[in-house]
Amino acid sequence: MSNIKSNWDGLTGLFSITFGLAYGGYAYSLPQPMFGNPLEAIFLPLAVSGIAIFIGVLLIITGGVTPSIVAIKALLNESSQRKEDRRKIAITCLICFFYAMLFEHVGYVISTSLFMFSTLTVTCGKSFWKKSALISIIFAVGIFITFNELLSVNLPPFPFFN
């Protein structure tokens, strides 16, 4: 197996088939429209589903499954630096989700300051915290004023103001 060149084609093919089946199945189970040709609304979804399944099969045939297994093993055995990069992406995604949850409840300035501070801590490290805090607050306030006052885009205000 060590001589086999790794690629992701097999795994991508498997994903493509799963996606095609799930998407097509869901489209087929949609209620029929009240008027017109009942199948018209699902023409495109069914065609997309068919193409995805066909492409998936072709990818598995041309790429094979073993190179994908080799690629997964190579991914798991990557250097600790690469694993650390992935961990940073995962943490940043979690921060983004928390940001989305807080955004409308605590307002733009507070949520963005927290978001910026957290992401700066991920990218710059904890020792940078004073500068991170300063950049976060200046950025959040600056953008809030620019959007609300200059661009007439209303961002969620502070929770204690109406």
Partner 1 sequence: MDILTNLMNGFSVALQPYYLFLILVGGILGTVIGMLPGLGPATGVAILLPMTFSMGPTASLITMMGVYIGAMFGGSRSSILINTPGDGAALAATFDGYPMAMKGKAESALAISAIASLIGGTIAAILMTLMAEPVAGLAIKFGPAEYFLLMVAALSMTVSMSKGNMLKGFLSMCIGLAISTVGIDGQSGLQRFTFGVLELQTGIDFLVVIIGIYALGEVFKSFRTLSEGGKKAQTKFKRIWISKEEWKRSKWPILRSAPVGFIIGALPGAGGTMASLMCYNNEKQLSKNKEEFGHGAIEGLAAPESANNAASIGAMIPMLSLGVPGSGTTAVMMGALLMLGIQPGPLLFAQHPDTAWGLIASMFVANVILAIVNIPLAGVLVRLLAIPPKVLYPIVLSLAFVGCYAISASVVDFYILIILGVAGVIMGRLDIPTSPMILAAIVGGQMEQSFRQGYRISNQDLSVFMDSGIAKGLLVVVLLSILLPIISAIRAKVAERKVAA
Q: If you search the block for the tokens 């940001």, which residue do you land on?
A: 99
**How far is C-alpha 48 from the chain's CA centre?**
22
Taking the complex as a whole, how short is the minimal distance between the CB of residue 95 and partner 1, in angstroms?
A: 9
Choosing from 4, 65, 74, 100, the residue that interacts with partner 1 (CB under 8 A) is: 100
Residues 61/17, Cβ–Cβ less than 8 Å:
no
Q: Provide, for the chain, the percentages of residues in helix, strand and coil under a 3-state DSSP scheme, each rounded to the nearest 5.
A: 75, 0, 25
**Does residue 4 interact with partner 1 by CB under 8 A?**
no
For the chain, the first-to-last Cα distance in angstroms comes to 65
d(CA 121, CA 114): 10
Contact letters (x/-) for partner 1, 46-65, by CB under 8 A?
--x--xx--xx-xx--x---
Q: What's the token pair of residue 140?
A: 């959040």
Choosing from 77, 127, 152, 162, the residue that interacts with partner 1 (CB under 8 A) is: 152
**Does residue 11 interact with partner 1 by CB under 8 A?**
yes
Choosing from 4, 85, 129, 145, the residue that interacts with partner 1 (CB under 8 A) is: 85
**Does residue 109 interact with partner 1 by CB under 8 A?**
no
Choosing from 4, 66, 78, 97, the residue that interacts with partner 1 (CB under 8 A) is: 97
Q: What's the token pair of residue 27?
A: 């489209």
Burial of 57 (C-beta count, 10 Å sphere; 0-12/13-18/19+): middle
Interacting residues with partner 1 (CB under 8 A)? 7-9, 11-12, 15-16, 19-20, 23, 26-27, 30-37, 40-45, 48, 51-52, 55-56, 58-59, 62, 81-82, 84-85, 88-89, 92-93, 96-97, 99-100, 103-104, 108, 112, 115-116, 119-120, 123-124, 135, 139-140, 143, 147, 150-155
